[in-house]
Structure 1
Amino acid sequence: MALFSEQAAEAQLNNEAERICEDDLESLLKRQEAIEAKVKGSGRLRRFSIDIKLMFSLIRDYWKGQYRAVPWKTIAAVAGALLYVLNPLDLIPDVIFGIGFIDDAGVIALCLKLVESDLHKYGAWKELAEESKCEARPN
């Protein structure tokens, strides 16, 4: 028997995402350092650190109005997953040695699976936007 199933991850992600509103994004962005520190300190979550940075970048650009070519359900899922990671008393409390981050990793993995296409499109947009900035700078 698995400690944390994909169905449990989906239920947790849906629960978090349903509660997200646009006003929550600023608060989430202020918690980025805390979430990244938690990810860095967990072996199970550490493998998602690059994805989590991209997720925060997407949220930031959406919040600033710089990137809106993404459905709200993607933004809500990403924000919900990130907030779930921050919660120490989630489905499997983080203080339980050895298994406390299994649910966090499951929720992040499921979120990435669900928003993969939108995240790839955003990553490509971000790369082009950064290239354009570099080309626009005088030498």
Structure 2
Amino acid sequence: MFNSNKKLINEDYVSGEITKMNEGDVDVVMNNQKEISEKLLNSSTLKKYTELGKIMIGMLQDYRKGIYSNVPWFTIAAIAFSLLYVLNPFDIIPDFIPGLGYIDDLAVLSFGLRFIESDLHNYLDWKLEEGASEVEA
């Protein structure tokens, strides 16, 4: 897929954009988590990412609260970039184009998840351990 500048949406593009993320971008995601969740849920193309989106937002919340710090910055930045890309209606392929508008969002989410899959698994394991220790206490 190409935009007007002929930038191909691929792993290199996504990885390069991730390296540009900062804490302010994480704040934008946190301030717009409801809109991001609704967009994932209401798009038939992105619907399968609804639960993963919740997990990603949960990881960001726990990271921001300081209760989950066993995560590299690249993973936090990948989550922020992926979710901000989904939030933006005027990305490479504007979302209002029927049948095509969410294809680039899907590609960015897929590439982003590929980079952070093991960190998401580690986070879920940590959540399970935290839940077990709370029950034991």
TM-score, with normalisation over the residues of structure 1? 0.87
Which segment drifts farther, 8-17 or 46-55? 8-17
Residue of structure 2 in register with 1:27 after alignment: 28
Shift of 1:42: 0.6
Whether the 8 Å CA contact 1:88–1:95 is kept in 2: the answer is: yes
Q: After superposition, give the CA deviation of every residue in 1:66-101 in whole Å (9 maximum; x if it has no partner).
A: 111111111101111010000001011000001100
Distance in 2 between residues matched to 1:16 and 1:133, nearest whole Å: 38
Aligned pair 1:85/2:86, yes or no?
Answer: yes
- Give 2:123's aligned residue: 122
Conservation of the 8 A alpha-carbon contact between 1:16 and 1:83: no
Matches within 5 A, 1:12-51: 12-51=13-52
Task: Give the superposition deviation at 1:30.
Answer: 1.6
Matched, 1:108 2:109: yes
Match of 1:55 in 2: 56
Greater Cα offset, 7-16 or 117-126: 7-16
* 2:75 alignment counterpart: 74
Given that 2:92 and 2:104 are in contact with CA atoms closer than 8 Å, whether structure 1 keeps it comes out as: yes
| Cα contact 1:12–1:107 (8 A) shared by 2 | no
Distance 1:11 1:37 in 2: 28
Report percent identity of matched pairs: 42
How big is the shift at 1:52?
0.7
| TM-fit CA distance, 1:25 | 2.0
Q: Deviation per CA, 1:10-45: give whole Å up to 9, x if none.
A: 355235423321233233112110001111111110
User: Taking CA–CA contacts closer than 8 Å with sequence separation of 6 or more, which of the two structures ends up with the larger relative contact order?
Assistant: 1
Q: Counterparts of 1:124 and 1:63 in 2: how far apart (Å)?
A: 19
CA contact (8 A) 1:9 1:103 kept: no
- Residue 9 to residue 33, structure 1, CA distance change in 2 (3 Å): farther
Distance in 2 (CA, whole Å) between partners of 1:50 and 1:69 is 21
